[in-house]
Amino acid sequence: NIVHDRIDYVFKVVVLGDSAVGKTQILSRFVKNEFYFDSKSTIGVEFQTKTVTINDKVIKAQIWDTAGQERYRAVTSAYYRGALGAMLVYDITKRQSFDHVARWVEELRTHADSSIVIMLIGNKGDLVDKRIVTTEDALEFAQDQNLFFSETSALSGENVESAFITLLQEINRVV
Ligand code: GDP
Ligand code: MG
């Protein structure tokens, strides 16, 4: 564990997307490098933090997880307040979770700061045989909507850290 003697910035990041796409697991993979097979729906802790160094700046990422509020329009505007970045997650094996991404983008455009950096995440990349949403379709949507895009697996850990680091780098570039 690296000890940081100073914090240059605190960046609030919100995690969004339909229920069961793996939001909480992506977060625990990034923050604690852990994965829970029997994860319950999120209760309790509002956010977790992880401190990283980007371009000589010590950045504390304060990452907020929805507490089972993933129903359409149930996430309150307080959740978005002050957020500089968003991880918008769908499940590559669930078409509906990808179809709903447009709604989540609309929510962000309505409630969050207009300069918020958004990373679209296609999670559960380890379930190759069950893939429904193609990389090409997601990439096209992301480019169209000006979102960054990555496919991850919270289970294997693939691309989880790089997705967060890319998001934090991009926030750092614009603050
Ligand atoms: P949330 O409702 O979006 O927070 O979803 P969770 O993080 O609670 O995950 C929902 C379910 O999907 C749990 O059973 C997880 O173990 C599983 N899950 C999450 N991420 C992955 C992944 O990358 N691969 C696989 N195979 N399962 C995952
Ligand atoms: Mg959750």
What average pLDDT score do residues 70-78 get? Answer: 77
Find the 77 Cα to ligand 2 centroid distance in Å.
18
Q: Is the CB of 48 under 6 A from ligand 1?
A: no
What average pLDDT score do residues 74-84 get? Answer: 88
5 band by pLDDT with thresholds 50, 70 and 90? confident
What backbone phi and psi angles, to 5 degrees, belong to 141?
-60, -45
Find the 25 Cα to ligand 1 centroid distance in Å.
6
What backbone phi and psi angles, to 5 degrees, belong to 2?
-80, 135
Q: Whose CA is nearest to atom 17 of ligand 1?
A: 22
Asked if residue 173 has pLDDT above 70, the reply is yes
Ligand 1 pocket test: pick from 29, 31, 39, 158 the residue with the most ligand atoms within 8 Å of its Cβ. 39
pLDDT in tens, 98-149: 999 999 999 999 999 999 999 999 999 999 999 999 999 999 999 999 999 9
Asked if residue 82 has pLDDT above 70, the reply is yes
pTM over 0.90: yes
Burial environment of residue 145 by CB neighbours within 10 A (0 to 12, 13 to 18, 19 or more): middle
Please list, residue by residue across 2-18, b when 16 or more beta carbons sit within 10 angstroms of its beta carbon and e when fewer do.
Answer: eeeeeeeeebbbbbbbb
Q: Is the CB of 37 under 6 A from ligand 1?
A: yes
pLDDT at position 63, please? 97
Q: Whose CA is nearest to atom 20 of ligand 1?
A: 22
pLDDT at position 78, please? 86
pLDDT in tens, 17-66: 999 999 999 999 999 988 887 666 555 557 899 999 999 999 999 999 98
Q: Is the CB of 22 under 6 A from ligand 1?
A: yes
Which segment of 12-16, 41-45, 109-113, 168-172 scores lowest on mean pLDDT?
A: 41-45
pLDDT at position 71, please? 74
For residue 23, give the nearest of 5, 35, 7 by alpha carbon. 35
Find the 30 Cα to ligand 1 centroid distance in Å.
14
pLDDT at position 43, please? 56
This complex has an ipTM of 0.99
- Cα 117 to the chain's mean position, in Å? 11
Q: Is the CB of 67 under 6 A from ligand 1?
A: no
Closest ligand to C-alpha of residue 39 is 1
For residues 35 and 40, what is the distance between their CA atoms, to the nearest angstrom? 12
Enumerate residues 6+ apart whose C-beta is below 8 A from 47: 12, 62, 63, 64, 65
pLDDT at position 106, please? 95
Q: Is the CB of 29 under 6 A from ligand 1?
A: no
For residue 63, give the nearest of 97, 109, 25, 94 by alpha carbon. 25
